């Protein structure tokens, strides 16, 4: 009966109560949304590379190496010579090795030179392999395989010609060496979607007539001649390595880091990711703290609403007291009321989150390559909601205690 | 000690921290089934006396015995429970919870008084019977309390005070918001019910014209000493 009266009392103040619930709902939706983006971003980062034991490149920072080699964010400061690469590739610990050569672009997309092994060994999302949606994997010198986003954005189909530009966002286009789209990959939700993949040899072929970032005047070696040349890569940007036994990972890592011929750096992708979280973590925590503050603000708003309702409800409380309700009953009714509001707010917030997710999912995916799954509420989200209800109960103690004292002093007689 | 429903003896009270208002009642007794009109101007200490009898405030000394229990010996919570069990209370006006139905309001004291709820038996049937006896329209139980006229609301308050038949009913100027005709009708209905159940009645008012319907009329200044020292 008390519960029913509490609900009836809330209904009687539908407008202010509704506003309060809406404020709580928006704050909860924001908080859960930030949480969702945070975990979604983390998951999509973590899903980008799987099954690779080591990544090595020229010596720089481990986060930097991870970012440019896997996420195509930022640039390599230096290259690794082909000789060093060969040296490491032939070591006994190495089961497979995939060279990566970056530095050219096509429109806004990066071009990556690599070997056939890439398609075999690059794994994402717990061991999934790349699949060709249309066409075939590179089988000619001037063949390219493009990611799903490249195809979708530029409207390419298998067989279309492609012109590769030297450097990033540069006007110097390798017009003389037209490439052809041979295959389009399935969508992966990783940076591969936004990459144009060519063979290592093709990268060399593009640069046959180039020296020091500019085309040598009047020199244009015909494609036929290039095909006949022995295109040995001079350098690579980085390489992905798989070891025969996990036990050898650290030995190989040390060997690469101590490689005498040139300064190299080998990283474990998982460890470097952790390091990256360490950096991003601060911003993440700040974002989470801000949205938590919004929740607190909404709850304080609720507290203010309850406070301002106390005076007009003095009569109501006196009736309860006259009927035999203890001051503690008055207190618990107000707390119950606050918890009801917080619970409704939390539930409405969750509903808003799902509506928001449904609307934002395709936009986030196409704009940022961030795929937020629409799952049933996780345990963590349930805890957040319970936390909001508990916090609602706690903040409502302030006005409830005041009501307690008021009803103790007033008794059943309200002097108005 | 007699078998009176209410016995006050040697009662003294002063408001804590307020501008020196104190009240002393050497003796007041209400017998079973007796109806008493307590007359006094506003500010004469009537409300304080009612609060003492209802147990929302404790006297400095003296005893308040209701149906054989000295409530000054009870804890705060126990006094609240005791009030719910033994006393029906009717205010001047605004007696009802505006957001509750008539039925919610009538049944409210039973929520805090398990024994009284047991006495009431089938509480909804009781509420229905009381509503009918008090001349409330049929089907009124499910409607919102605020949709009734003031006179009807006061009758709902009577039904609420009577349900489960507490031995004592306290009324604080219950007719002051009613016109003369309604006042008479209200008292007719009230007395019909209290006489049928041998309920004692203590009503405070400033209106001495109501006196002829009561067994006894007491002026507050005859039973109580009030001191007011302005600071």
Q: What is the pLDDT of residues B66-109, one digit of tens each?
A: 888 888 898 888 998 999 899 998 888 778 888 888 999 999 98
Q: Which residues of B have a CB under 8 Å from any CB of A?
A: 47, 50-51, 54, 56-57, 76-77, 80-81, 83-85, 89, 91, 94-100, 104, 107-109, 111-113, 160, 172
Neighboring chain A residues of B47 at a CB cutoff of 8 Å? 413, 415
Average pLDDT score over residue span A312-323: 86
Nearest chain B residue to A12 by CA distance is B99
* CA separation for the pair A46, A131 (Å, rounded): 20
Q: What is the CATH number of the domain that holds B17?
A: 3.40.50.300
Comparing B80 with A408, the larger pLDDT belongs to: B80
Report CB contact under 8 Å: A411, B100: no
Tell me, yes or no, whether A216 and A296 share the same domain: no
Query: What CA–CA distance (Å, rounded) separates A16 from A10?
Result: 9
For residues A61 and A117, membership in a common domain is answered with yes
- A217 and A344: one domain? no
Residue A274 lies in a domain: no
Residue B192 lies in a domain: yes
Kindly state whether residues A243 and A345 are assigned to the same domain.
no
Long-range contact pairs involving B185-192 (C-beta distance under 8 Å, separation at least 24): B185/B135, B185/B151, B186/B151, B186/B154, B186/B155, B186/B158, B187/B213, B189/B133, B189/B134, B189/B135, B189/B155, B189/B158, B190/B158, B191/B35, B192/B133
Confidence label for B177 from pLDDT (cuts 50, 70 and 90)? confident
Range of the domain at B145: 6-228
Whether residues B99 and A12 touch (CB distance < 8 A) is answered with: yes
Domain end residue (candidates: A267, A299, A331)? A267
CB pairs under 8 A between A and B: 78
Do A322 and B80 count as a contact with CB atoms less than 8 A apart? no
The domain boundary, picked from A236, A267, A298, lies at: A267
pLDDT value at position A174?
A: 59
Name the band, by pLDDT with cuts 50, 70 and 90, for residue A416.
very low
Q: pLDDT, tens digit, for every residue of A108-147?
A: 888 999 998 999 999 888 788 898 888 888 778 888 999 9
Nearest-neighbour CA in chain B from A388: distance (Å): 27
User: Which residues contact residue A59 at a Cβ distance below 8 angstroms, ignoring those fewer than 6 apart?
Assistant: A78, A263, A264, A265
Q: How many domains does chain B contain in total?
A: 1
Number of domains in chain A: 2
pLDDT in tens, A166-206: 655 444 555 566 788 999 999 888 889 889 999 988 888 77
The owner of tokens 């309920």 is: B199
Q: Return the residue in A1, A321, A324 with the most chain B beta carbons within 10 A, the one to mutate for interface testing.
A: A324
Choose from A313, A323, A325 for mutation: most chain B CBs within 10 A.
A323
Residues A392 and A362 occupy one common structural domain = yes
Question: For position A219, what pLDDT does the model report?
Answer: 60
Domain that includes residue A93, residue range: 54-267
CA atoms within 13 A on the CB side of A53: 18
- Residues of A numbered 311-340 whose beta carbons fall under 8 angstroms of chain B's beta carbons: which are they? 315-316, 318-329
Q: Please indicate, yes or no, if residue A275 is contained in any of the structural domains.
A: no
Confidence of residue A351 (pLDDT cuts 50, 70, 90): very high
**Domain-located, residue A273:** no
A165 in the same domain as A234: yes
The answer to whether position B97 is within a domain reads yes
Question: Across the interface, do A324 and B112 touch by the CB < 8 Å criterion?
Answer: yes
Q: How many CA atoms within 13 Å lie on the side-chain side of B116?
A: 27
* Domain-terminating residue out of A267, A296, A322: A267
A233 plus A366 within the same structural domain: no
| A76-119 tens-digit pLDDT | 888 999 999 999 999 999 999 999 999 888 888 889 999 989 99
Confidence band (pLDDT; 50, 70, 90) for A209? low
Please report residues of B whose CB lies closer than 8 A to that of A321. 56, 80
pLDDT attached to residue B1: 45
Q: Is residue B92 part of a domain?
A: yes
Q: Per-residue pLDDT averaged across B183-201, rounded?
A: 88
Assigned domain for B115 exists: yes
Partner B contacted by A412 (CB < 8 A):
yes
| Residue B1 domain flag | no
A38 and A69 assigned to the same domain: no
Q: Residue A84's pLDDT is what?
A: 92
pLDDT of residue A249: 92
* pLDDT above 60 (res B2): no
Task: Identify whether B131 is part of a domain.
Answer: yes
Residues A92 and A235 placed together within one structural domain of the fold: yes
Average pLDDT over residues A43-68: 88
Residues A9 and A125 in one domain: no
pLDDT per residue as tens digits for the range B12-66: 888 777 667 788 888 888 988 899 999 888 777 888 888 889 888 888 888 898 8
């Amino acid at each position: 009966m008390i519960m029913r009266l509490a609900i009836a009392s809330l209904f009687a103040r539908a407008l202010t109560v509704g506003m309060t619930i809406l404020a709580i709902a928006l704050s909860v939706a924001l908080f859960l949304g930030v949480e969702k983006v945070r975990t979604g971003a983390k998951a999509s980062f973590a899903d980008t590379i799987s099954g690779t034991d080591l990544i090595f490149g020229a010596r720089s920072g481990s986060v930097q190496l991870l970012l440019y080699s896997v996420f195509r964010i930022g640039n390599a400061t230096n290259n690794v010579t082909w000789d060093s690469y060969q040296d490491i590739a032939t070591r006994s610990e190495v089961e497979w090795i995939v060279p990566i050569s970056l530095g050219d672009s096509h429109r806004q997309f990066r071009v990556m030179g690599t070997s056939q092994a890439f398609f075999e060994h690059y794994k994402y999302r717990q061991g999934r392999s790349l699949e060709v949606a249309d066409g075939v994997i590179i089988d000619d010198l001037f063949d390219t395989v493009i990611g799903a986003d490249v195809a979708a954005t530029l409207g390419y189909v298998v067989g279309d010609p492609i012109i590769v530009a030297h450097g990033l966002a540069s006007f110097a286009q390798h017009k003389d060496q037209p490439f052809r789209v041979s295959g389009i990959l399935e969508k992966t939700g990783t940076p591969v979607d936004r990459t144009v993949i060519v063979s290592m040899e093709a990268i060399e072929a593009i640069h046959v007539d180039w020296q020091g970032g500019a085309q040598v005047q009047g020199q244009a070696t015909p494609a036929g001649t290039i095909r006949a040349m022995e295109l040995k890569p001079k350098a690579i940007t980085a390489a992905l390595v798989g070891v025969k036994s996990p036990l050898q990972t650290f030995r190989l890592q040390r060997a690469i880091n101590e490689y005498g011929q040139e300064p190299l750096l080998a990283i474990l992708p998982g460890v470097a990711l952790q390091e990256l979280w360490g950096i991003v973590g601060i911003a993440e925590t700040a974002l989470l703290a801000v949205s938590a503050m919004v929740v607190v603000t909404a709850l304080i708003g609720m507290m203010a609403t309850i406070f301002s309702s106390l005076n007009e409800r003095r009569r109501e409380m006196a009736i309860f007291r006259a009927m035999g309700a203890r001051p503690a009953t008055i207190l618990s009714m107000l707390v119950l009321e606050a918890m009801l509001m917080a619970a409704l707010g939390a539930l409405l917030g969750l509903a808003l989150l799902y509506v928001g997710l449904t609307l934002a999912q395709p936009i986030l995916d196409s704009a940022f390559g961030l795929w937020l799954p629409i799952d049933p509420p996780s345990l963590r989200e349930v805890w957040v909601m319970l936390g909001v209800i508990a916090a609602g109960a706690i903040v409502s103690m302030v006005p409830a205690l005041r009501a307690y004292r008021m009803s103790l002093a007033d008794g059943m007689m309200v002097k108005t | 000690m007699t078998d009176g429903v209410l016995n006050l003896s040697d009662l003294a009270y002063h408001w804590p921290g307020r501008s020196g208002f104190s009240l002393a009642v050497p003796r007041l007794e209400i017998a079973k089934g007796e109806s008493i009109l307590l007359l006094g101007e506003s500010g004469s200490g009537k409300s304080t006396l009612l609060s003492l009898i209802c147990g929302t405030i404790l006297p400095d000394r003296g005893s308040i015995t209701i149906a054989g229990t000295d409530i000054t010996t009870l804890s705060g919570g126990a006094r609240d429970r005791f009030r719910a069990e033994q006393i029906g209370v009717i205010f001047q006006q605004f007696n009802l919870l505006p957001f509750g139905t008539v039925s919610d309001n009538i049944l409210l004291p039973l929520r805090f008084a398990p024994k009284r709820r047991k006495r009431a038996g089938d509480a909804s049937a009781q509420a229905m019977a009381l509503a009918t006896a008090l001349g409330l329209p049929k089907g009124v139980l499910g409607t919102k309390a605020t949709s009734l006229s003031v006179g009807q609301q006061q009758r709902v308050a009577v039904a609420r005070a009577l349900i489960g038949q507490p031995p004592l009913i306290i009324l604080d100027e219950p007719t002051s918001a009613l016109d003369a005709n309604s006042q008479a009708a209200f008292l007719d209905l009230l007395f019909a019910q209290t006489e049928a159940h041998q309920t004692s009645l203590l009503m405070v008012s400033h209106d001495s014209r109501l006196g002829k319907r009561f067994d006894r009329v007491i002026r507050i200044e005859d039973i109580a000493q009030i001191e007011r020292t302005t600071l």
